[in-house]
Amino acid sequence: MAVHPKSEIRKGEILRAAEKVFARNGYQEATISDVARQAKVSEATIYEYFPSKEELLFSIPGETARRARERIEDILQYIRGTSNKLRAIIYQYLWFYENNPDYSAVVLLILKQNRRFLEVAAYQDVRALARFVMDIVKEGIAAGEFRDDINPFLVRSIILGTIEHLVIRRVLLGGPERLVELVDPLIDLIISGIDARKEEKIWNVRIGMDQAEKMEKGKPFSEKKGKHPGRQR
């Protein structure tokens, strides 16, 4: 049975209203009546789409995560190099969180604390989006661009954990205001730790004239200045 376009539009309006109400009032304090007023619909209309307040909460990230995954998939096909792909993903995360503060608050401050969210379908959409990062790291290892001794799971945890820390700080404290300005510093730090290309080490050794002469003659010399083997004071 086809879903009527108006029905999907109404559902989206309710989800956006719930996102705003939950972010600003807190999930526990917010009511379906609050959401209905924000969405300009009746409470009965909300219950036609969502059987409970919790179901409404759990539905917020699903469609957003799916759209984000499709957008990233579309972008990555035009990008070459795994480092550049990681940068594109990090940019998409930070750009989206910067421009959707209510969504950021709901997902990172409310849903992250709810273990029941792990059991719903929307969580799988969120996981699929996060899986992009680990897949790109594995791709970089296979291509020889990233070190083969790194743990992709840990790299993903570092990236997403840093992003979440920055976003939560912004939600609670108001800064950093421009998250996208942190894309390059963050990716530079990550790549410096996982890049497979090693810079040639250059050793600077300072040798005294007397030591150089002994080296030419094949004689040993003491590391301590002025104390030559066999020389008595």
- String of b and e for 7-26 (b: at least 16 CB within 10 Å)? eeebbeebbebbbbbbbeee
Same domain, 22 and 81: no
Q: Which domain holds residue 39?
A: 1-51
Each as own residue / partner, the long-range contacts of residues 147-151 (CB below 8 Å, 24 or more positions apart, any chain) are 147/194, 147/195, 147/196, 148/196, 150/193, 150/194
pLDDT digits (tens, 9 = 90+) for 120-169: 888 888 888 888 899 999 999 999 999 999 999 999 999 999 999 999 99
DSSP E strand boundaries for the chain = none
pLDDT of 19 > 70? The answer is: yes
Same domain, 63 and 20: no
Same domain, 13 and 108: no
Same domain, 176 and 106: yes
pLDDT of residue 81: 93
- Tell me the pTM: 0.77
pLDDT of residue 208: 52
Query: Does the residue 166 lie in any domain?
Result: yes
Query: Does the residue 203 lie in any domain?
Result: no
Same domain, 4 and 32: yes
CATH number at residue 111: 1.10.357.10
Number of folded domains that form the chain: 2
Query: Does the residue 223 lie in any domain?
Result: no
